[in-house]
Amino acid sequence: MMNLLLSCGFPSPAADYESELVDLNRLMLRHPDASFLARAHGESMRGAGIHDGDVLAVDRSMLAQDGDIVVACVEGEYTVKRLSKRVDSVALVAENPAYPPIVVRNADNLRIFGVVVLVLHPLVTEGRRGLSYVRPQ
């Protein structure tokens, strides 16, 4: 696999020969023994750039802070939401106004499994990526 450092702005003439090795394991799983990958399902986190089918890298070693996107279990149901700590409760807030926040008043009903640290989402559908093609000449 070729590894290039690509500009998404105006290209630099000096950047023709720049390259950087990208190690996906190191990028996604900074703490491999305390991390896992999960697939997102649903539309509740679209505003945070998390789409249905995306792959999430979750770090269990991080202490979840207010504003982090977390994987949580509320009364036996797993969810990915933005953590909002309040004076008398904790809310798990969706990044889509069509979904109401989940307010948890009893800490025994909430378990945080980790902090979402990275999201991968495809730009081409799975079916199309499996197709081979002939390059135009």
**81 carries an active-site annotation:** yes
Q: Show Cβ contacts of residue 105 under 8 Å, excluding neighbours closer than 6 positions.
A: 88, 89
* Helix or strand holding residue 119 (H, E): strand 110-120
What is the rounded CA–CA span in Å between residue 137 and residue 124? 23
Instruction: Catalytic residue, from 12, 81, 84, 132: name it.
Output: 81
Q: Are 40 and 50 in contact (CB under 8 A)?
A: yes
The residue type at 39:
R
Phi, psi of 78 (to 5 degrees): -90, 145
Instruction: Catalytic residue, from 7, 12, 19, 44: name it.
Output: 44
DSSP class of residue 26?
H
Q: What amino acid positions are annotated as catalytic residues?
A: 44, 81
